[in-house]
């Protein structure tokens, strides 16, 4: 075999290897992307009935709420930071008497559930702020609809959770769905943005805008990338939580989780039981 042929052979082998590697990389990425989209999609059957609209032109009845005076700025529970530390063992929705609050801010995570009976409905102040934010985003031409997922009762969350567990198994379902009593949506202070495809908003342009502007409306992006170990959840670019402008601005500037800001425990569930 001549030197020229030899070089040609070497080049061909290298080219084939590069092609094969690119193909596997592409396949793998596609699979990961498909998986992410699947996780983010709303299963129509379970979520349809809890989607509301932020469009003020539309029926106001979807926004009718309770007379809750549970505004976040009020401090009704005199909890101190020290008292809350390491106090989260074995709390359950059945044993909780009232929501855990620090400086008037309700905290819900995998350590601090809400009482099973806690059903405040959508918080008016939060809903009004969400509508304004939603309107600004649509005016800017971002891929957002007036539909959203807001208040979710204990029973709604129980049904949702059971469906996910039935579909994906408990450990997988718990990567993205809360146990009943542990969802921030039960506070009436949390909202999910939905795009024109009817999916939870995760595209970069929209996600970046939400992350950079939510605080102007009194919201925080509750579950961020890199904070999973503290929040207990994978990143959710579409989920905002109302805390009021003052605290939202501080949390945004400090780049901390709500757990760190309030000085409370976070992380995973303390028990295997539901
Ligand atoms: Zn959410």
Domain residue spans of the chain: 2-76, 81-262
- Domain 81-262 sits in CATH at 3.30.1380.10
Cα(24) to ligand 1 centroid in Å equals: 34
Q: What is the pLDDT of residue 16?
A: 60
Distance 178 CA to ligand 1 centre (A): 10
- The 10s digit of each residue's pLDDT in 92-148 is 999 999 999 999 999 999 999 999 999 999 999 999 999 999 999 999 999 999 999
- Tell me, in angstroms, the distance from the centre of ligand 1 to residue 65's CA: 19
How far away, in angstroms, is 22 Cα from ligand 1 center? 36
Residue 48 alpha carbon to ligand 1 centre in Å:
14
Could you tell me which residues come within 8 angstroms of residue 227 by beta carbon, excluding any fewer than 6 positions away? 235, 257
> Distance, CA 150 to ligand 1 centroid (Å)?
7
DSSP E strand stretches across 123-180: 147-149
Give residue 129 CA to ligand 1 midpoint distance, Å. 16
- Report CA(185)–ligand 1 centroid distance (Å): 6
Q: How far is the CA of 192 from the centre of ligand 1 (A)?
A: 5
Q: How far is the CA of 220 from the centre of ligand 1 (A)?
A: 12
Q: Would you place residue 271 in the very low, low, confident or very high pLDDT band (cuts 50, 70, 90)?
A: confident
What pLDDT was estimated at residue 15?
A: 66
Ligand 1: distance of its center to the CA of 9 in Å? 56
Closest to 184 measured CA to CA, from 83, 257, 133, 263: 257
pLDDT tens figures, 156-202: 999 999 999 999 999 999 888 999 999 999 999 999 999 999 999 99
The full 3-state SS of 21-73, as one line of letters, equals HHHHHHHHHHHHHHHHHHHHCCCHHHHHHHEEECCCCCCHHHHCCCCCCCCCC
Q: Is the predicted pLDDT of residue 41 greater than 90, yes or no?
A: no
């Amino acid at each position: 075999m001549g030197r020229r042929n030899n070089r040609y052979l070497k080049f061909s082998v290298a080219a084939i290897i590069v092609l094969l590697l690119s193909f596997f990389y592409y396949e793998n990425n596609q699979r990961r992307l498909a998986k992410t989209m699947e996780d983010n999609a709303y299963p129509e059957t379970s979520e349809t009935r809890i989607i509301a609209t932020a469009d003020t032109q539309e029926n106001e009845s979807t926004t009718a709420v309770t007379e809750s005076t549970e505004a976040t700025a009020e401090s009704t529970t005199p909890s101190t930071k020290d008292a809350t530390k390491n106090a989260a063992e074995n709390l359950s929705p059945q044993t909780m008497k009232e929501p855990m609050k620090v400086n008037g801010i309700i905290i819900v995570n995998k350590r601090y559930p809400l009482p099973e009976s806690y059903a405040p409905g959508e918080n008016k102040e939060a809903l009004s702020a969400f509508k304004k934010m939603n309107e600004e985003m649509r005016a800017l031409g971002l891929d957002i609809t007036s539909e959203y997922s807001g208040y979710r009762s204990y029973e709604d969350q129980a049904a949702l959770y059971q469906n996910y567990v039935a579909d994906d198994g408990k450990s997988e379902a718990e990567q993205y769905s809360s146990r009943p009593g542990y969802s921030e949506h039960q506070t009436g202070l949390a909202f999910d943005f939905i795009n024109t495809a009817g999916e939870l908003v995760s595209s970069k342009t929209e996600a970046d805008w939400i992350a950079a502007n939510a605080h102007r409306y009194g919201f925080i992006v509750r579950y961020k990338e890199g904070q999973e170990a503290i929040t207990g959840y994978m990143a959710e670019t579409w989920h905002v939580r109302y805390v009021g402008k003052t605290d939202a601005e501080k949390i945004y500037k400090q780049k901390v989780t709500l757990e760190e800001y309030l000085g409370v425990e976070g992380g995973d569930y303390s028990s295997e039981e539901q």
